[in-house]
C-alpha cells in the first residue's frame, strides 16, 4: 500500500511525463514538422498527377469532360462491342521482315508469343471475305454455324449479278488507289493468320531495352518532322544533356504549324496509351503455375509521374487525351456509313450480327452527342497547293510508321502496335474524307468511300484501347491517392 506522500509523488511524476510529452509533440508540430507540412501539397501534386487537368492545347475540350464522357458513357459499351465475334478476330501477318534494319531481336519471353486462331474456330462469315459485307444474299446462309460448312459459301458469290461483281471490282480498285495512311492489308499472304484478340490481350511482356527503344526512336526521330539538332526530353538514345528538361524541344514543337504539331501529339498519345496498358496489365506473380496480372504502380510512376519524369509525364498523358479526341471525332463522322440499313457486320449468325450492329450504332450515337469535338477543318486549310503537299507529307510519314511496326521484336507487341496504328490511320482517312462520306448513297454501296473489315476492326479496337487507357488512368489516380 502506498502512503499519501508516495501517492502524491507518483501523481506529480506522471503529470510531468504527460506535460513533457505534450510539449515535445506541440513543438514538433509547430517547429520541426512545420517544414514537411509545407512540402506535402507539392509532393501530392506531383504524385497524384493533379496537373493533368484543364483545357487541352490545340482544341477547346477539357480533360475532366473527357473523363466523365469516356468512363460512364463510352467505355462500358465499347468494351462489350469488342467482345463480339465480328471485332474479336483480326487477320494479320506477323512474319513480315523489318524493311529498315536487320532485325534479330526477337523476344524469347513466353508472354511475347501470339497464339493464332485455328480457322475452324473463326466464324464462317468472317472467313468468306468482304464480298458478302454488302450482299443481301448473305442473309440466306446466316444460319450456318459450323466452320466445316465454309465450302458452301462459294454459292454466295455466284448469286451476285454481273453488275454487282463489276461494282465489287471497282470498290477494290478504288480502295487500292485511295489515300491510305497505312500499308494496304496483307490478308492474302500465306503468312497472314487470324488472331483472337480476347485470347491474346495487350499487356506487359518483358520486351524492353535497346530493341524497343530503337523502334520508338526511329518513329520520333525520323518521322515526326523533327530536326536532328533538337533532342526529345528523356530520350535514352540521345546524347546526355545534363539537366536539360526538354524546354528547347517544346519551344521548337510549339513553333511548328498545326498539322505537324498534331502529328507529333498523335504519336506521343499512342505511345502513352500503349505504356498505360503495359502498366495496368503487369505480371505481378507467377507462383504455382498461375499468372496474376494487375496494375504496377512502380512501372506507372517511372513512365508518367511528374516527379520521376521532370514533368514530361503530364505532357505525355495530355497527348493521350488529344489522340482520344481525334479518334472520337472520326467515329462521329463515319456514323452515316454504318447507319445505312444494308451495312451488315456479317459473321454468319444473324442474331449475333444484329446485336453487334445495334451496339455499334449506340456507340456512334454517343460519339455524335459529344459537345466538344476537335475541329479538323482547321488543318490543311491554307494555300491549296501547299496544303496538298503538306497533307501528302503527313500521310507518307504516318504510312512509314505503320511499316516500322514490322521491326518490333515481340510478336504480341507487334500485333497490338499494328492494330492500333492501323486504327489511327483509318481514323485519319475518315477525317479527311468528309465529302465522300456526305455523298454516300442511302440504299447502295458507294465507289467513293469504303472500309474493309480489317479497317473497321482496327478502328473500333484501336479506339477501345484509348478508352481503356483513360479508364485505367482513373484507376491509377485512385491507387496513388490510396497510397498517400
pLDDT at residue 288, as a whole number? 77
**What confidence tens digit (pLDDT) does each residue in 260-308 have?**
999 999 999 999 999 999 999 999 988 777 889 999 999 999 999 998 9
pLDDT at residue 107, as a whole number? 78
Strand-pair partners of 55: 62
Backbone angles phi, psi at 433, to 5 degrees: -125, 35
Q: What is the spatial distance between Cα 352 and Cα 339, in angstroms, rounded to a whole number?
A: 17
Q: What is the spatial distance between Cα 314 and Cα 440, in angstroms, rounded to a whole number?
A: 41
pLDDT < 50 positions in the chain: 2, 4-5, 7-8, 10-46, 130-178
Cell of 275: 505504356
pLDDT at residue 129, as a whole number? 62
pLDDT at residue 48, as a whole number? 53
pTM: 0.81
Amino acid at each position: 500500500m502506498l502512503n499519501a506522500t508516495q501517492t502524491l509523488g507518483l501523481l506529480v511524476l506522471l503529470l510531468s511525463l504527460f506535460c513533457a510529452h505534450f510539449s515535445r509533440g506541440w513543438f514538433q508540430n509547430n517547429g520541426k514538422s512545420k517544414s514537411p507540412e509545407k512540402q506535402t501539397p507539392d509532393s501530392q501534386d506531383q504524385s497524384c498527377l493533379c496537373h493533368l487537368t484543364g483545357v487541352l492545347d490545340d482544341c477547346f475540350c477539357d480533360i475532366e469532360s473527357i473523363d466523365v464522357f469516356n468512363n460512364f458513357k463510352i467505355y462500358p459499351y465499347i468494351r462489350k462491342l469488342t467482345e463480339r465475334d465480328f471485332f474479336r478476330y483480326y487477320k494479320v501477318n506477323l512474319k513480315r521482315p523489318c524493311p529498315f534494319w536487320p532485325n534479330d531481336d526477337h523476344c524469347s519471353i513466353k508472354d511475347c508469343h501470339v497464339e493464332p486462331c485455328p480457322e475452324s474456330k473463326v466464324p464462317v462469315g468472317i472467313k468468306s471475305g468482304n464480298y458478302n459485307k454488302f450482299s443481301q444474299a448473305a442473309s440466306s446462309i446466316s444460319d450456318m454455324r459450323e466452320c466445316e460448312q465454309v465450302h458452301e459459301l462459294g454459292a454466295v458469290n455466284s448469286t451476285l449479278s454481273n453488275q454487282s461483281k463489276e461494282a465489287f471490282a471497282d470498290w477494290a480498285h478504288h480502295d487500292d488507289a485511295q489515300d491510305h495512311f497505312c500499308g494496304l492489308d496483307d490478308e492474302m499472304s500465306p503468312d497472314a493468320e487470324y488472331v483472337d484478340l480476347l485470347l491474346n490481350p495487350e499487356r506487359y511482356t518483358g520486351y524492353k531495352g535497346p530493341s524497343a527503344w530503337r523502334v520508338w526512336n526511329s518513329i520520333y526521330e525520323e518521322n515526326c518532322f523533327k530536326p536532328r539538332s533538337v533532342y526529345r526530353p528523356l530520350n535514352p538514345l540521345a546524347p546526355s544533356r545534363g539537366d536539360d528538361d526538354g524546354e528547347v524541344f517544346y519551344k521548337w514543337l510549339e513553333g511548328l504549324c498545326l498539322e505537324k504539331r498534331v502529328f507529333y501529339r498523335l504519336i506521343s498519345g499512342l505511345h502513352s496509351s500503349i505504356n498505360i496498358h503495359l502498366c495496368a496489365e503487369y505480371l505481378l506473380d507467377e507462383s504455382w503455375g498461375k499468372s496474376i496480372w494487375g496494375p504496377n504502380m512502380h512501372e506507372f510512376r517511372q513512365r508518367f509521374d511528374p516527379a520521376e519524369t521532370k514533368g514530361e509525364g503530364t505532357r505525355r498523358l495530355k497527348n493521350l487525351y488529344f489522340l482520344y479526341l481525334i479518334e472520337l471525332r472520326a467515329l462521329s463522322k463515319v456514323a452515316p456509313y454504318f447507319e445505312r440499313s444494308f451495312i451488315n457486320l456479317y459473321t454468319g449468325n444473324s442474331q449475333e450480327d444484329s446485336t453487334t450492329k445495334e451496339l455499334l450504332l449506340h456507340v456512334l450515337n454517343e460519339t455524335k452527342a459529344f459537345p466538344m469535338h476537335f475541329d479538323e477543318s482547321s488543318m490543311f486549310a491554307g494555300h491549296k497547293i501547299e496544303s496538298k503537299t503538306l497533307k501528302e507529307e503527313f500521310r507518307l510519314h504516318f504510312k512509314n510508321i505503320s511499316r516500322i511496326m514490322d521491326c518490333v521484336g515481340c510478336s504480341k507487341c507487334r500485333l497490338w502496335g499494328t492494330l492500333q496504328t492501323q486504327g489511327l490511320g483509318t481514323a485519319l482517312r475518315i477525317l479527311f474524307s468528309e465529302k465522300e462520306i456526305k455523298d454516300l448513297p442511302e440504299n447502295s454501296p458507294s465507289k467513293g468511300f469504303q472500309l474493309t473489315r480489317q479497317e473497321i476492326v482496327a478502328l473500333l479496337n484501336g479506339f477501345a484501347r484509348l478508352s481503356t487507357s483513360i479508364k485505367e488512368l482513373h484507376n491509377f489516380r485512385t491507387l496513388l491517392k490510396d497510397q498517400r
